[in-house]
Amino acid sequence: MNSGDTAWVLLSTALVLLMTLPGLAFFYGGLVRRKNVLSILMQCLIILCVISLQWVLFGYSLSFGPDFHGIIGKLDFAGLRGVGPLPNADYAATIPHSAFMIFQAMFAVITPALIIGAYAERVKFSAFLVFTLLWATFVYDPLAHWVWGTGGWLKALGALDFAGGIVVHVSSGISALVLAVMLGKRIGYNHRPIRPHNLPFTVLGAALLWFGWFGFNAGSALAADGLAVNAFITTNTAAAAAGLTWAMIEWWHNGTPTILGGATGAVAGLVAITPACGFVNPMNAIFIGMIVALICYVAIAVVKSKLGYDDSLDAFGVHGVGGIWGTIATGLFAEKAVNAAGNNGFFFGNTHQLLVQGGLVVVTIAFAAIMTWIIFKLVDALIGMRVEEKSEIVGLDLTQQSEAAYTVIE
Partner 1 sequence: MKLIVAIIQPHKLDAVKTALEGVDVHLMTVTEVLGQGRQKGFTEVYRGAKEAGGLLKKIRLDIAVNDNFVEPTITAITKGAHTGEVGDGKIFVLDLAECIRISTGERGSTAIG
Binding site for partner 1 (CB under 8 A): 192-193, 195-196, 250, 253-254, 256, 258, 260-261, 264, 297, 300-302, 305, 314
Smallest distance from partner 1 to CB 78, Å: 42
CA dist 288 and 272 (Å) reads 7
Smallest distance from partner 1 to CB 199, Å: 9
Smallest distance from partner 1 to CB 135, Å: 25
- Phi-psi category of 164—alpha, beta or left, where left has phi over 0 and alpha has psi -120 to 50? left
Q: How far apart are the first and last CA of the chain?
A: 56
Closer by beta carbon to partner 1, 298 or else 383: 298
Closer by beta carbon to partner 1, 196 or else 278: 196
Contact 1, 222 (CB under 8 A): no
Closer by beta carbon to partner 1, 255 or else 341: 255
State the Cα torsion 255-258-263-264 to the nearest 10°: -50
Smallest distance from partner 1 to CB 286, Å: 23
Q: What is the DSSP annotation of 160-183?
A: --SSSIIIIIIHHHHHHHHHHHHH
Residue in 123, 113, 174, 114 with CA at minimum distance from that of residue 371: 174
CA dist 393 and 91 (Å) reads 48
Closer by beta carbon to partner 1, 129 or else 301: 301
Closer by beta carbon to partner 1, 242 or else 385: 242
3-state secondary structure of 1: coil
Distances (CA, A) of 292 to 125, 196, 283, 298, 302: 33, 23, 15, 10, 15
Residue in 343, 326, 387, 399 with CA at minimum distance from that of residue 124: 387
Closer by beta carbon to partner 1, 195 or else 390: 195
Q: At 67, phi and psi to the nearest 5?
A: -65, 140
Q: At 386, phi and psi to the nearest 5?
A: -110, 145
Distances (CA, A) of 365 to 152, 199, 342: 17, 31, 23
Closer by beta carbon to partner 1, 250 or else 335: 250
Closer by beta carbon to partner 1, 219 or else 265: 265
Smallest distance from partner 1 to CB 207, Å: 18
Q: At 235, phi and psi to the nearest 5?
A: -60, -50
Smallest distance from partner 1 to CB 41, Å: 21
CA dist 367 and 71 (Å) reads 12
CA dist 321 and 317 (Å) reads 5
Closer by beta carbon to partner 1, 56 or else 116: 116
The CA-based angle 376-381-384, given to 5 degrees, is 75
Smallest distance from partner 1 to CB 105, Å: 32
Smallest distance from partner 1 to CB 192, Å: 6
Smallest distance from partner 1 to CB 266, Å: 13
Smallest distance from partner 1 to CB 254, Å: 5
Closer by beta carbon to partner 1, 211 or else 251: 251
Amino acid at 323: G
